[in-house]
Structure 1
Amino acid sequence: MKWILYDIGGVLEIVDDHSWPQVLEKSWSVRLGLSVQELRARLDAAGLPDTTLQTGVADEYWRKFGAALEVDDVEVAALRAQLWDAYCGQANVELLAHARSLRGRAGLAILSNSGDGAREEEERRFRFSSIFDPICYSHEQGVAKPDAGAYLTALKRMGASAEDVLFIDDNEAPMRGAEDCGIRAVLHRDNATTIAAIERFLAS
C-alpha cells in the first residue's frame, strides 16, 4: 500500500509558521505593556520546559509563563487561547477534502513538529483523526524533523517502506530530511500542484 504523509502547519492548516510567533509576541507586548525585548528576556529567564519534544509539560509551561509575566490565571488562559488560535490557523479545506477522497487508495498519515497540547487543540478544531492514522507529533515521539528519527518512527508506525511513501511539507529542510531517508517528498506551495503530485505518485 502507498502512503501520503502530510505536515500540518502550512499544509493541512493555512498558517505562516515563520511569522505568527512574531506577530503574537508583538500583540502580547502591547497587551501587557512590555517591550518585546523585556517580554523575551522574562520568558528566557523563566526556565520554561521544551514543549516540542515531550508531553505532560504544558501546565508547567503556562504556570511559569504567568509567573514570569506577572499575570493571573485568567490572563494566562486568554493568552494561551490566543497562542493556539495563531498556531492552528485555518483548515486547508481543499487539501483536506482531497485527502478524504484518497481513502481506500492510500494510507493517510501526519508527521508534524508540534507543541504539547497540539493534538487536543487540532483535533477539536479539525478532527484530523477522522482522516489520518497514525498522527505523529514531535512532542509525543520525542524527535523532530528533519532528524532522521522522526521519519523512521513514522514509517514504523505506518508499517510502511520508505519507497511507498510520499511526504508533503512546506519547508525545504524537512523535505530534504525525508529524502535522506529514502522517502519521496513534495515541497507544498499551492494545493493544485500538491494534489497533482499526489495523483502522479499514486498512479506510478
Structure 2
Amino acid sequence: MPERPWILFDIGGVLELVDDDTWPHQWWDRWRRHAGLSAEEFEARLAVADLPPIDIETGTGERFWGAVGRMLGIDTDDVAVMRADFWDAYCGTGNTELFAYIETLPARANLAILSNSVDGAREEEERRFGLSRLFDPICYSHEQGVNKPDPQAYLRALERLNARPDQVFFVDDHSEAIDGAAAVGIRGVLQRDNAVTIAAIEDFLVSR
C-alpha cells in the first residue's frame, strides 16, 4: 500500500483570516492609548518589562498577562478585557473556503498543523474552530519550544508525523516559513489565494 501523504498547515493567515504582520502592532497601540501612555513611555516600559516567552514556553500565560497589566498600570478587570481582545485579534475568523476543501482531504491524505503560537492558543483555537476534528498532530511553537523558520520546528514536526520530508506538503503565508521547510526537504506553497493553494495541494497529491 502506498504511503499516505501529509498536508501540513499553518494557522494564522491560512486557516484563520488574520494578518499576523499588522494586528499585534494595532493591538498593542490600542491598549497603549487606553492606558494613557505616549509611544515613548510605552516603549520604555516594554523594554524593562521582562515579559515571559509565551511563544516558546508553556505555562507562561498567567505570568505574561500579570506582567502586561503591571507594565500598563491597568487593573485586573481591564487585563481580562485586554486578554479577550487579544484572542479576538489573534484568531481572526475562519477561512471557510479553505476549510470546506480541507474537509474533502482525509480520504487522500493525513492532515496536521505547524504553527508559531503563544501559550493558550491550543485551547482558544480549539474552542473557536475545533481544529482537532481535522488535524492530528497540531504542532505549536510554544509546546515544541521553537519557532519557524528554525529547522528544528520542521524536524520536530516530522518526528511527530513519523514522516519523511518528501511525504509532506506545507502551506504557510510567510515566505521565510516556506523557505525554512524547503531547507529540510519539505515542498510547500505560499498562501495568498485559496484557489492557488488548493491547486498546489492537488498537484502534490496527484504526483504521489
Would you say same fold, with TM above 0.5? yes
**SS of alignment partner, residue 8 of structure 1:** coil
Question: What value does the CA root-mean-square deviation take over the aligned residues?
Answer: 0.9
Q: Does 1:113 align with 2:112?
A: no
Instruction: Please report the TM-score for the alignment, with normalisation by the length of structure 1.
Output: 0.97
Cα distance between partner residues in 2 of 1:203 and 1:183: 16
Query: Would you say 1:15 and 2:4 are equivalent positions?
Result: no
Residue 145 of structure 2 is aligned to residue 142 of structure 1: yes
**Conserved? CA contact 2:170–2:188, under 8 Å:** yes
Once the 2 structures are TM-superposed, how far is the Cα of residue 8 of structure 1 from its aligned partner? 0.6
Quote the residue 1:131 is aligned against: 134
Secondary structure, aligned partner of 2:171: strand
User: Residues of 2 paired with 1:179 and 1:159: CA distance?
Assistant: 18
How far does residue 102 in structure 1 lie from its aligned partner after superposition? 0.3
Identity %: 56
1:99 paired residue number: 102
The 2-side partners of 1:5 and 1:37 are apart by 41
* 1:39 Cα deviation after fit: 2.0
Letter matched to residue 60 of structure 1: R
1:38-117 equivalent positions in 2, closer than 5 A: 38-117=41-120
| Pairwise CA distance, 1:45 | 1.2
Question: Distance between the aligned counterparts of 1:157 and 1:185, measured in 2?
Answer: 18
Q: How many residues are aligned here?
A: 204
CA contact (8 A) 1:25 1:36 kept: no
Give runs of aligned pairs for residues 155-194 of structure 1, distance below 5 A: 155-194=158-197
CA contact (8 A) 1:20 1:86 kept: yes
Structure 2 unaligned blocks of 5 or more:
none
Q: Secondary structure at the match of 2:102?
A: helix
Equivalent-residue separation in structure 1 for 2:72 and 2:31 (angstroms): 10
Cross-structure match for 1:36: 39
TM-score (norm: length of structure 2): 0.96
1:100 Cα deviation after fit: 1.3
Contact 2:10 2:171 in 1 (8 A): yes
Gap regions ≥5 residues in structure 1: none
Query: Match of 1:201?
Result: 204
Task: List structure 1 segments (4+ residues) > 4 angstroms apart after TM superposition.
Answer: none
More moved, 31-40 vs 174-183: 31-40
CA distances 1:108-160 after superposition (whole Å, capped 9, x unpaired): 00000001111111111111110100000000000111111110111111111
CA distance, structure 2, for counterparts of residue 133 and residue 100 of structure 1: 14
2:116–2:141 CA contact under 8 A, matched in 1 = yes
